[in-house]
A and B are shown apart, each in its own frame.
Chain A
Amino acid sequence: MNSPRTRFYLDKQNAKWSGVCAGIADYTGMDVTLVRIGIVLLTILGGFPWTLIAYWIAAWMAPRKPIELYSQDREEQKFWQGVRANPRRTTRDVRSRFREIDRRLADVETYVTSSNNQLAREIEQLR
């Protein structure tokens, strides 16, 4: 868990208090509001000191999110959330994208070669 893109960060730019909830939302891809409501409900429904302790420990231990990881588009963010959840599945997805490209390229190749044949045949007929 030492690689820079798949570790847990405090999301200070979207933080309300210390950025733990925003960090969880950014890590998992869940909605920030849902995470906050969930934590507050958990605190009210019996987890009173423990959630706060966990929050402080997380806020104290986790590093801030580096500034260069913020400037990503939405699709990139979703991709890395998928990697964090299940790296194997994401790798399979990337491989299937390459296969799809290969298939499309094969179609184009077939079309180009066959249309060249067509052109050659028409020239042949003109003679």
Chain B
Amino acid sequence: MAEEFLLPIFIVGMLFIGLPWIILHYVSKWKTAATLTTEDENLLDGLHDLARRLDDRMATIERIIQADNPNWRALAYDPAEDALEDRSSRTRILEAAPERSNRPTRRTR
């Protein structure tokens, strides 16, 4: 007998309290999560566009250098390497040293 009374109460409770509760919970969560103003959006749009253009330009420059000297990356990755090969010119190593010490600061930035 008690179940016959309780079942409609449960269903009504779920429909009119549980369901709106869940919906409002997710609506409020969604509102707090998406905090992107119009300025942020324009800024992000500009940055995205800029990144794409810079990417293209870098690709062009790399292609030009590639055509100029196919193994330029080997030179770029270790500038001191060809300096260490001929030890006659002491200045070459000294010139290459600041570049090497400069590189880690670039990467960590």
Contact = CB atoms under 8 A, between A and B. Distances in A.
A4 B92 CA distance: 56
B41 A103 contact: no
Contacts of A33: none
Interface in B55-97: 55, 58, 61-62, 65, 69, 72-73, 75-77, 79, 82, 89, 92, 95-96
Nearest to A2: B38
A94 B76 contact: no
A31 interface: no
B3 interface: no
Main secondary structure of the interface of B (DSSP, over half): helix
B11 interface: no
A3 B37 contact: yes
B51 A117 contact: no
A6 B76 CA distance: 42
Given A87-B34, A87-B36, A108 B62 contact: yes
Given A101-B55, A108-B61, A117-B95, A94 B47 contact: yes
Interface residues of A, number: 31
A90 B92 contact: no
Contact of A3 (B38, B73, B96): B38
A103 B82 CA distance: 21
A16 interface: no
Interface in A61-82: 79
A83 B36 contact: yes
A91 B75 CA distance: 33
Given A3-B37, A87-B34, A115-B69, A107 B51 contact: no
Interface of B: 31, 34-38, 40-41, 44-45, 47-48, 51, 54-55, 58, 61-62, 65, 69, 72-73, 75-77, 79, 82, 89, 92, 95-96, 99, 103, 106-107, 109
